[in-house]
A and B are shown apart, each in its own frame.
Chain A
């Protein structure tokens, strides 16, 4: 895929040992294309780990804090791999591809950790790293179903959000899932690594065919992916999530299924954290000035520091800088952000910053 990206003029960046496209032209244009039309992403750096066998469901129930065995085949769930102390080792999407096969998608930087933990925790199941043999192309945006429907044999109307099915794309066998990390409708297409370029090219051509200008389906890079997920209030491991953060602090307590039967790694610690309530809370901030809050900047209230910015960027959709930040639970505004020595006022807002169901 590297040659494809370079032909498209991509600025490449090293990310978790992978050379990935950061942007092709203007990352703002790529962002806006996803919000208003659709765009293609190469996400081959993501980790894919298969957990298979008759004991796979019970093994995963013990390994992660969600409830994979309750998933029907063809369904997916966002979940987390927690340490025994309740800290987050990675956030994952788990697809139940068949009764005895789960596909666990991990962050590129955490794939080795997730693989190691799953191998240790999943006694009674086969755990295999499929990252190198799997390609992942995402098509995201309101036009994604229209474009994909031209080149797949799957009836997409029947494919709900967080569902997936085996089919073909451009004639290549693929697992097609209605998932993403942009806050828009769209699909993630897992294929054989050797088919990645063909899937990409097939979709790019299908996008062009639907638009006389030929710009209906641009490629988008990691820079646009980051601003899209931030607007959608989705956490990024290493920013909002980490081993010193519990799901409750991240506002994701719903992913911890204390109601599932049996023990799982982190259960005791997480139950205690659920009972005591989080010490800090993830909030959204919209800056009033045009200076952008960045990762690590202090959040101020009154005369004191009450938290820290985890992610910040200029929001193309809102037209203002936005940030997610951890603040002491109960801290009240008005908030300011220490932007390199000068306090810039910011308004607390509910997450997400952007919700497509409310915009249309």
Chain B
């Protein structure tokens, strides 16, 4: 199971990569492994407002369906259209071609972008998956 060091994580098993004012979001290798083969991903629409901790999509696998939560506040600026034809990318490359959506982060009063509190470091996330068994 891989937990890349440059990413931040949520307790709901999303990863988030910050590049300037844009956050890319997907689900972790651990989550993909637990779900089994992903067969369909329902993503938010481009332009939709998302709120950290709120569901904004669904991930269907053979055995189950899980809500997809946004790790950040902001506006969806891009979604991974390739998942529509090839949802298996989520299993094959959860941190690469299996990314799900990008969000433009809301600027704070001083123009700076802030991450919501509560995102996990790689070490914290790894700890979480271990305690989950």
Q: How many residues of chain A are within 8 Å of chain B by beta carbon?
A: 15
Asked if B36 contacts A314 (CB within 8 A), the reply is no
Residue B58 at the chain A interface, CB threshold 8 Å: yes
Asked if A290 contacts B62 (CB within 8 A), the reply is no
Produce 1/0 per residue, B60-71, CB < 8 A to A. Answer: 101111000000
Residue B11 at the chain A interface, CB threshold 8 Å: no
Residue A291 at the chain B interface, CB threshold 8 Å: yes
Q: Per a CB cutoff under 8 Å, which of B36, B42, B62 touches A291? A: B42
Contacts of A223 in B (CB 8 A): 36, 62-63
Interchain CA distance A291-B36 in the complex, whole Å: 16
Residue B30 at the chain A interface, CB threshold 8 Å: no
Residue B24 at the chain A interface, CB threshold 8 Å: no
Residue B91 at the chain A interface, CB threshold 8 Å: yes
Given A223-B36, A290-B39, A292-B39, also A26-B91 (CB < 8 A): yes
* A interface, over-half SS: mixed
B94 CB, min distance to chain A CBs, angstroms: 14
Contacts of B62 in A (CB 8 A): 27-28, 223, 227, 313-314
Closest to B37 in A: A28
Q: Per a CB cutoff under 8 Å, which of B33, B42, B60 touches A314? A: B60
Residue A229 at the chain B interface, CB threshold 8 Å: no
Produce 1/0 per residue, B79-115, CB < 8 A to A. Answer: 0000000001001000000000000000000000000
A222 CB, min distance to chain B CBs, angstroms: 10
Contacts of A313 in B (CB 8 A): 62-63
How many A-B Cβ pairs are below 8 Å?
40
Residue A294 at the chain B interface, CB threshold 8 Å: yes
Interchain CA distance A313-B63 in the complex, whole Å: 7
Produce 1/0 per residue, A212-244, CB < 8 A to B. Answer: 000000000001000100000000000000000
A327 CB, min distance to chain B CBs, angstroms: 22
Given A223-B62, A314-B62, also A291-B37 (CB < 8 A): no
Interchain CA distance A174-B128 in the complex, whole Å: 46
Contacts of B64 in A (CB 8 A): 294
Contacts of A291 in B (CB 8 A): 40, 42, 58, 60, 65
Residue A23 at the chain B interface, CB threshold 8 Å: yes
A293 CB, min distance to chain B CBs, angstroms: 10
Interchain CA distance A291-B60 in the complex, whole Å: 7
Closest to A13 in B: B63
Q: Per a CB cutoff under 8 Å, which of A26, A27, A290 touches B60? A: A290
Produce 1/0 per residue, A285-315, CB < 8 A to B. Answer: 0000011101000000000000000000110
Asked if B36 contacts A27 (CB within 8 A), the reply is yes
Produce 1/0 per residue, A1-29, CB < 8 A to B. Answer: 00000000001000000000011001110
Of B33, B42, B62, B88, most buried by chain A (CB within 10 Å of CB) is B62
Produce 1/0 per residue, B32-63, CB < 8 A to A. Answer: 01001101101000000000000000101011
Contacts of A314 in B (CB 8 A): 39-40, 60, 62
Interchain CA distance A22-B61 in the complex, whole Å: 14
Asked if A27 contacts B37 (CB within 8 A), the reply is yes
A298 CB, min distance to chain B CBs, angstroms: 16
15 contacts between A and B (CB under 8 A): A23-B36, A26-B91, A27-B36, A27-B62, A28-B37, A28-B62, A223-B63, A227-B62, A290-B60, A291-B58, A292-B39, A292-B40, A294-B64, A313-B62, A314-B60
Binding site for A on B (CB under 8 A): 33, 36-37, 39-40, 42, 58, 60, 62-65, 88, 91
